[in-house]
Amino acid sequence: MDPVHASVLISRPPREVFEYLADVANHPEFTDHFTADWRLTREDTYGLGAGARFRFRQRFNRVPWIDQTIVELEAPRRLVLVGRTGKFNRIRTVTQYDLEAAAGGGTQVSVSYETEPKYPSDRLLESRRFHRRGWGRALRRLRTILEEDRDRGPRATIAGGPRKPATGSPIR
């Protein structure tokens, strides 16, 4: 699928927006209207290697699960997540956030979501309309969260509670 683009102007400095986006556990807060069932892939949710597994709430999609991991960080300008989705995880996905300083101390945030299906049958699951609407609304919610501190969805967590620092563990 060709890249789907969306952008929004947020009245916060680029560093603050970047710090929020670099923590994968924050992503369900602004994307929960078209994603669900977030599971983190490691304890450290910030920076390179941090990732999550979740599913898209897309009708008629038999294999909605997607894995994504942060593979590139250029603070405070760019964040790239790469992953896999589809049957047997054969569809490669790339989500890229670009941040630019705007006049008045704000930040122009642009997101690009792209898939690379392996077979023609994989193209049947793609819906540009679904992703264009979903990412557009996600960025508007991101603006509301960062500017007004409201309209937050659930934040992804790790099952079993906090693990750092490990205290009282019988395993040595």
d(C-alpha 39, C-alpha 83), whole Å = 14
Which residue reads 């977030």 in tokens?
38
pLDDT at position 104, please?
Answer: 86
Residue 53, pLDDT score:
92
Q: What's residue 22's pLDDT?
A: 94
Question: What is the mean pLDDT for each group of 10 consecutive residues in the chain (172 residues)?
Answer: 90 94 94 91 90 87 87 94 90 95 92 89 75 92 91 73 54 48
Spatial separation of the C-alpha atoms in residues 103 and 119, rounded to whole Å: 44
Enumerate the domain spans of the chain: 4-148
Q: Closest Cα partner for 98 from 132, 68, 129, 75?
A: 75
- The per-residue pLDDT for 135 is 93
Instruction: Give pLDDT, residue 99.
Output: 96
> What superfamily does domain 4-148 belong to in CATH?
START domain (3.30.530.20)
- In the β-sheet with 4-10, what is the strand arrangement from edge to edge? 4-10, 107-116, 91-101, 78-85, 65-74, 51-56, 35-40
Q: Where are the beta strands (DSSP E) in 104-152?
A: 107-116
CA atoms 132, 137, 140, 141: torsion sign: negative
- Rounded to two decimals, the pTM is 0.86
Interatomic CA distance for residues 168 and 81, integer angstroms: 36
